[in-house]
């Protein structure tokens, strides 16, 4: 008599372990998400507390929300002007970095030379230098070129910060596009510029959006160079220091201003989430 039916009944079904594994994975992701979001929750709820409640021990979990901290943050401190400065600098730096990075990435991918790999590494290595190492040279240059304490000067400094990341993302974006598209456009009579403008650049839009979002976030949150290179035309991250005094810290107003500072970044990531994920992963599975 054959033993196959008996062995078949003893064989373990691999589908049996999947519900338990999925439950553990969901539990782990839930715990990690709560752990990651708790600091943001703590920051937001502190902005709606009264001054005495922000420093109460033990913390008050149930309280009557008030808007005093927000009124103080945007009435007593120039946060509106600082947020506008941050927006102008971030938009300007992102626009310049995208234009320069787009042409640089296309040239490094499709106009290759024997030193293209060296240039690619050099572009990425610009992010490896610690900011404090280049702060003094840039300060001296800005002092002699009348760029010190100007939004244009700070935007150019932010371009230096983000251009390496933007170019590298776009390099991988162009590497993920089939080279046959460029060759087909050239066979049809397009020059390199025509093929770039009509074929390659439109296909690189997801990577361009992803690089633009990342560039905007890096510029929006930048603190060190804004502190050094500006005084009257500074940005919102530096303006948060207005709520830190010598003997006390206005935690409510500080939390309110920091919450408002988070809103643009949250909205941009939420709106461009699909393009951000697609743009940052283009070329990741090529070859």
CA distances from 13 to 53, 60, 89, 228 (A): 56, 51, 59, 64
Query: Would you state the structure tokens that stand for residue 3, as one six-digit string?
Result: 């033993």
pLDDT for 94 equals: 95
C-alpha span between 128 and 99 (Å, rounded): 22
pLDDT in tens, 218-237: 999 999 999 999 988 889 99
Residue 232 near residue 153, CB atoms below 8 Å: no
Q: Give the confidence band of 100 by pLDDT, cuts at 50, 70, 90.
A: very high
Q: Is the entire prediction scored with pTM above 0.85?
A: no
pLDDT for 75 equals: 79
Output b/e per residue, 19-30; b: 16+ Cβ within 10 A: eeeeeeeeeeee
pLDDT for 113 equals: 66
């Amino acid at each position: 008599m054959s033993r196959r039916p008996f062995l078949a009944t003893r064989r373990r079904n691999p589908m049996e372990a999947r519900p338990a594994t999925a439950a553990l994975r969901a539990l782990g992701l839930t715990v990690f998400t709560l752990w990651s979001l708790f600091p943001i929750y703590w920051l937001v709820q502190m902005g709606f507390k009264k001054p005495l409640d922000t420093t109460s021990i033990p913390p008050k979990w149930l309280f009557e929300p008030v808007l005093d901290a927000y009124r103080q943050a945007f009435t007593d401190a120039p946060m509106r002007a600082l947020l506008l400065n941050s927006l102008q600098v971030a938009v300007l730096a992102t626009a310049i970095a995208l234009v320069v990075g787009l042409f640089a990435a296309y040239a490094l991918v499709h106009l290759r030379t024997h030193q293209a790999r060296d240039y690619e590494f050099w572009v990425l290595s610009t992010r490896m230098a610690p900011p404090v190492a280049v702060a003094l040279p840039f300060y001296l240059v800005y002092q002699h070129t009348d760029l010190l304490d100007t939004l244009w000067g700070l935007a150019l400094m932010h371009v230096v910060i983000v251009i390496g990341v933007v170019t590298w993302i776009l390099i991988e974006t162009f590497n993920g596009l089939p080279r046959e598209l460029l060759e087909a456009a050239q066979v049809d009579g397009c020059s390199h510029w025509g093929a770039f403008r009509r074929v390659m650049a439109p296909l690189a839009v997801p990577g361009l959006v992803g690089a633009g979002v990342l560039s905007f976030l890096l510029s929006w949150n930048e603190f060190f160079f804004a502190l050094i290179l500006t005084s009257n035309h500074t940005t919102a991250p530096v303006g948060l220091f207005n709520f830190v005094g010598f003997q006390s810290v206005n935690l409510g107003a500080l939390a309110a201003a920091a919450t408002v500072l988070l809103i643009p970044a949250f909205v941009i990531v939420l709106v461009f989430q699909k393009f951000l994920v697609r743009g940052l992963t283009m070329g990741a599975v090529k070859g």
